C-alpha cells in the first residue's frame, strides 16, 4: 500500500509594512515611478492657487484639461516609439498635416462629409508613420535623422497645402463636428455615466489583476493598499464629475465634459489595453528591453517596430484634429517642431524612459497635465513665454535625471 503526500505551497501576500519598505528601497535607488511627478503636480497646483484664486475654479480646471489634450495625445504617440528606444520628430507636423487635410476638405471648395475628411486625414498621418518605419527598418537608418528629415518635409508640405488655398495662409473651421471636438460638451448625465463607468472598470481591473497575481503566488498588493487605490479612484471620479458638471459659463450655462477629453480617454484606454493585454504590446516591451533576445525567441521584431511607427502616425493625426478644433482652423504659422518637443517632454516627464523598455501610456497623461499646468498657471499670474519655457525645461531636466538614476539603480544587485 502506497501513500502520496501532496504538499501545497501557500500563497503569501506581503504585509502592508513590507510593501512600504519595498517602495522606500526603490525610491532610494531612483526607481520612484510617478510619485515625484504627482507630488510636483500637487505643489504646482497649490502654488498657482495661492498666486491666483481662479486657478482651481471649475472653469479654469476644465480649460486646463482641454489645453493638455494636445500634449497628452502627442505624448501617447511618442510613447509607442520611446518604448523601443526610437523617436519621431515629425509627429507635430504630421498632426498639422492631418488637421490641414480635414479642415480643407470640409470647409473649402471640396465640401466633403466630415467622416470622409477625417478618415483621409488619419490615413495620411498613418501612412507617413509607416513610411518612416520602412526607412528606419528597411535601410537601418536612425529614427532621429529619418524623422528630422520628415519634420522638415512635412513642414513644407503643410505650408504648401495651406497657402495654395488662396485664403491668406489661414483657414477657419465652419464644420460643426470638427469645431465641437474642443468646444462641444456631453450632457451632465452622460458625463456621470462615463466617469462612473471608467472608475468601476479601473477598480475591477485592479482587483482582478491583484487576485490573479496572488493565485499564481506572485507578489501582490495587500488589501489595505488596494482599498486605498480604489478609494482614490472614487474620489478622483467624484472630483471630475464636480468639475465638469458645474456651471462654468459666464453668460450662458455650460455643463458637461468636453468631447476632446473623452477622445483622450478612449485613445489612452485603447493603447493601454493593447500594451498590457495583447501579444503586440508584450512584444513591444520585450523588443524595447532587448531586441536581440526578442528576435532569438521568435518575435517578428521588424513587424512590431513598424506597427509602433504606424500607431505614432495615427495618434498624431488624432492630435491634429484636436489641435485645429482648439484653434478653430489651421494656418501656415503652425509650430509643429515645438509641439513634438512638448510631446517627448510629456512622455519623459510622466516617467517613460528615453532608453526603451520602460514606460506606460498613462505617463503621457501625467506629463501632459504637468506641462499644461505650468502654462496655464503662469498665464494666470501673468508670466510670459520666457518663464514658461524655462520652467518646462527645468521640469524636463529633473525627469530625465530621475530616469538616469533609475537606470543606474537597476544595475545594483539587491
Query: What residue segments make up the domains of the chain, in order of their start?
Result: 77-183+258-332, 185-256
pLDDT at residue number 199: 95
Other CB atoms within a 10 A radius of the CB of residue 104 amount to: 21
The whole-angstrom separation of Cα 345 and Cα 393 is 9
Q: Can you give the pLDDT at residue 404?
A: 65
* Stated pTM of the model: 0.88
* Three-state secondary-structure class, residue 258: strand
Distance from the first to the final alpha carbon of the chain: 48
Q: What is the pLDDT of residue 389?
A: 80
pLDDT means per 10 residues in the chain (414 residues)?
A: 46 55 57 70 90 91 94 96 95 95 86 92 97 96 95 94 82 89 94 95 89 80 83 94 90 90 95 94 93 92 96 97 92 82 88 84 92 90 81 77 62 46
State residue 28's pLDDT score. Answer: 55
CB 365 within 8 A of CB 315: no
Distances (CA, A) of 136 to 124, 133, 283, 301: 19, 5, 19, 13
Nearest to 351 by CA among 335, 370, 334, 336: 370
Which of 371, 367, 407, 412 has the alpha carbon at shortest distance from 85? Answer: 407
The whole-number pLDDT of residue 29 equals: 52
Residue tagged 495654395 (cell numbers):
164
Q: Phi and psi for 171 in degrees, rounded to 5?
A: -125, 125
Q: How high is the pLDDT of residue 398? A: 75
- φ/ψ of residue 353, rounded to 5: -80, 140
H or E, element range at 172: strand 170-172
CB 380 within 8 A of CB 55: yes
CA distances from 288 to 134, 149, 283 (A): 18, 24, 8
In 3D, which of 100, 84, 121 has the Cα closest to residue 315? 121
Cα distances from 21 to residues 12, 43, 224, 280, 315, in angstroms, run: 17, 25, 15, 34, 39
Q: What is the pLDDT of residue 216?
A: 82
> CA 89 from chain center: how many Å?
16
Amino acid at each position: 500500500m502506497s501513500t502520496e503526500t501532496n504538499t501545497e505551497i501557500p500563497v503569501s501576500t506581503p504585509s502592508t509594512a513590507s510593501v512600504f519598505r519595498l517602495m522606500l528601497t526603490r525610491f532610494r535607488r531612483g526607481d520612484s515611478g510617478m510619485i515625484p511627478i504627482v507630488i510636483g503636480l500637487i505643489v504646482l497646483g497649490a502654488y498657482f492657487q495661492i498666486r491666483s484664486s481662479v486657478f482651481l475654479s471649475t472653469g479654469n480646471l476644465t480649460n486646463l484639461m482641454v489645453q493638455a489634450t494636445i500634449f497628452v495625445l502627442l505624448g501617447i504617440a511618442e510613447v509607442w516609439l520611446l518604448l523601443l528606444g526610437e523617436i519621431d520628430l515629425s509627429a507635430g507636423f504630421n498632426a498639422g498635416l492631418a488637421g490641414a487635410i480635414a479642415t480643407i476638405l470640409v470647409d473649402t471648395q471640396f465640401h466633403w462629409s466630415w467622416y470622409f475628411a477625417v478618415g483621409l486625414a488619419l490615413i495620411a498621418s498613418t501612412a507617413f508613420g509607416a513610411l518612416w518605419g520602412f526607412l528606419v527598418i528597411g535601410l537601418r537608418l536612425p529614427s532621429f535623422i529619418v524623422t528630422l528629415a520628415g519634420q522638415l518635409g512635412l513642414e513644407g508640405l503643410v505650408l504648401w497645402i495651406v497657402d495654395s488655398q488662396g485664403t491668406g495662409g489661414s483657414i477657419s473651421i465652419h464644420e460643426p463636428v470638427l469645431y465641437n471636438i474642443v468646444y462641444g460638451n456631453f450632457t451632465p448625465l452622460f458625463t456621470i455615466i462615463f466617469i462612473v463607468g471608467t472608475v468601476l472598470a479601473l477598480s475591477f481591473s485592479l482587483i482582478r489583476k491583484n487576485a490573479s497575481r496572488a493565485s499564481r503566488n506572485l507578489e501582490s498588493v495587500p488589501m489595505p493598499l488596494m482599498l486605498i487605490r480604489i478609494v482614490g479612484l472614487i474620489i478622483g471620479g467624484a472630483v471630475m464629475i464636480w468639475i465638469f458638471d458645474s456651471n462654468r459659463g459666464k453668460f450662458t450655462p455650460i455643463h458637461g465634459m468636453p468631447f476632446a477629453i473623452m477622445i483622450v480617454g478612449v485613445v489612452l484606454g485603447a493603447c493601454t489595453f493593447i500594451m498590457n493585454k495583447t501579444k503586440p504590446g508584450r512584444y513591444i516591451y520585450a523588443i524595447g528591453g532587448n531586441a536581440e533576445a526578442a528576435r532569438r525567441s521568435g518575435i517578428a521584431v521588424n513587424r512590431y517596430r513598424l506597427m509602433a511607427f504606424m500607431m505614432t502616425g495615427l495618434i498624431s493625426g488624432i492630435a491634429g484634429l484636436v489641435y485645429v478644433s482648439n484653434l478653430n482652423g489651421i494656418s501656415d504659422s503652425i509650430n509643429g517642431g515645438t509641439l513634438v518637443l512638448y510631446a517627448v517632454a510629456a512622455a519623459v516627464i510622466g516617467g517613460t524612459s528615453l532608453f526603451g523598455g520602460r514606460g506606460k501610456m498613462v505617463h503621457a497623461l501625467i506629463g501632459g497635465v504637468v506641462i499644461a499646468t505650468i502654462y496655464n498657471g503662469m498665464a494666470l499670474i501673468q508670466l510670459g513665454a520666457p518663464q514658461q519655457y524655462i520652467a518646462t525645461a527645468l521640469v524636463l531636466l529633473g525627469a530625465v535625471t530621475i530616469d538616469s538614476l533609475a537606470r543606474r539603480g537597476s544595475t545594483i544587485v539587491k
